[in-house]
Amino acid sequence: MIKKEMIAMLLAGGQGSRLGVLTSKVAKPAVAFGGKYRIIDFPLSNCINSGIDTVGVLTQYQPLRLNTHIGIGIPWDLDRNVGGVTVLPPYEKSTNSEWYTGTANAIYQNLEYMETYNPEYVLILSGDHIYKMDYKIMLDYHKANGADITIATMPVPIEEASRFGIVVTDENNKIKEFEEKPEKPSSNLASMGIYIFNFKVLKEALVKLKDQQECDFGKHIIPYCHENNKKIYAYEFNGYWKDVGTISSYWQANMELIDLIPVFNLYEEFWKIYTKSDDTIAPQYISDNSNIERAIIGEGTSNYGEIRSSVIGSGVVIGEGSVVKDSIVMKNVKIGKNVKIEKAIIAEDAVISDDVILGVGEAVPNDTFPKIYTDGIVTIGENSFIPAGVSIGKNTAISGVTTAKDYDNGVLASGRTLIKAGDSQ
């Protein structure tokens, strides 16, 4: 019989609706990050760097790009005969083709997969955070406390605490109280959505709550275990951890990578971040007339213009006379000549034609999704087309192939949203 000390279950089915048009065609964990990575690369790399060689990846919303990216796990050394990485979509396991209806329900539907490895411990992860963590140290802490469950936590500003599961601990870090997204938090110690369970405890709770609608770890499993006197401990993490679930936080996390001394280093030798790479891509080309200041630039990019304080993906073309400033430009974007881009996020395979200006005017609230498109950022969805000569204001969102007729006198005013038929928010 196969026996693994600990396996990981990585929840990667989220839509990431707060990222607007960036996730209209792709799951949040598959969104590009840092020029060459995708968000899911971080927890996958953490697993293999921590010695965890069996990972189930639970996918659901728009899974195709995620599945293609993960493949059989070669970049992360997870192409194993026993264990390795396994993509677990909902339709493969249930005779009545149930969707995953909550984080814990997704794990429950994969009990058989977990039982195959007869683990002592199960590590539950989210596929949509940027951080580096040695899960082996967390497991050692779990064992030392004789815990049934250990929750990774970190302090957050008290004004943001209501966005998280909040824990209150005693002097030994044993959890006394757990509240999921409380209106009036009694602590600022937040759950990171990373859990180590003794497998027997996890299985018991999942089976007991199998009929709970939209069964969720924070709302149901942890409170159930707490009520049943399971030993639950908080493991306080003090490293860099970023929830990139909003346009603003996603932009900010990318911008932090190009600080003179970045708070999050992508290139540490002892804790590498692995990703799928394209071996056929050409080298970068930087023309004599170009200018680059504080930027990450991906492989195969051709720059004939000016790049300042920006993160540029692979295969991007930036035309003569164009300026890209304070922006994120993803893979295979084509930017024409004399384009001015300031504080924008441009998703994969978009085309920005000649003489376009992005990010002009005052930052008025977005008229359709004021809580999504914020901070003056222009957001362009993947495969979008922006025609020549138009000007686009701040807090705007565009998705789809647009024409000059879609712009009032050649302008999309600040705070406006332009979504062509077939696309969503």
Q: Which DSSP state fits 174?
A: B
What is each CA distance from 313 to 31, 260, 298, 332, 339, in whole angstroms? 12, 20, 5, 7, 18
List of domains in the chain? 6-256 (3.90.550.10), 285-419 (2.160.10.10)
User: Which of 316, 412, 410 is closest to 364 using CA atoms?
Assistant: 412
Paired tokens of 170? 């005693």
The answer to whether 72 and 298 are in contact (CB under 8 A) is no
The mean per-residue pLDDT over the stretch 164-172 comes to: 93
Whether the CA torsion 11, 15, 21, 25 is positive or negative: it is positive
Question: What tokens appear for 287 in the block?
Answer: 């023309």
For 254-268, the pLDDT digits (tens) are: 999 998 888 999 988
Which structure tokens are listed for 390?
A: 């138009």
State the pLDDT at residue 205: 97
Instruction: Give Cα separations from 357 to 48, 349, 361, 411 (angstroms).
Output: 43, 18, 11, 9
**Phi and psi dihedrals of 341, rounded to 5?**
-125, 125
Query: 9-23, 36-50, 373-387: which has the minimum mean pLDDT?
Result: 9-23
Check residue 221 and give its pLDDT: 95
Listing from the earlier edge strand, what are the strands of the sheet with 385-386?
Answer: 285-286, 302-303, 317-318, 334-335, 351-352, 385-386
Output the pLDDT for position 17: 86
Q: What percent of the chain has pLDDT over 70?
A: 96
CA of residue 60 relative to chain centroid, distance: 15
Residues 10, 107: Cα–Cα separation, whole Å: 9
181 pLDDT above the threshold of 50: yes
Give the mean pLDDT of 245-261.
94
Question: Does 375 or 245 have the greater pLDDT score?
Answer: 375
- Residue 57: its pLDDT value, please? 95
pLDDT tens column, 111-152: 999 999 999 999 999 998 999 999 999 999 999 999 999 999
pLDDT the model gives residue 74: 83
Q: Given this model, what pLDDT does residue 94 score?
A: 42
- CA distance linking residue 362 with residue 383, whole number of Å: 27
Which pLDDT score, from 0 to 100, does residue 92 have? 46
pLDDT at 97 over 60: no
Average pLDDT, the chain: 93
Paired with 87 in beta bridges are 57
Local confidence band at 277 (pLDDT 50, 70, 90 cut-offs):
confident
Res. 91 pLDDT band, cuts 50 70 90:
low
Q: What is the pLDDT of residue 423?
A: 54
pLDDT at 67: 83
Kind of pairing between the strands at 54-58 and 6-11: parallel
pLDDT tens digit string along 301-346? 999 999 999 999 999 999 999 999 999 999 999 999 999 999 999 9
pLDDT at 95: 53
Q: Which position has the token pair 């082996």?
A: 136
* Residue 325 and residue 343 in contact, taking contact as beta carbons nearer than 8 Å: yes
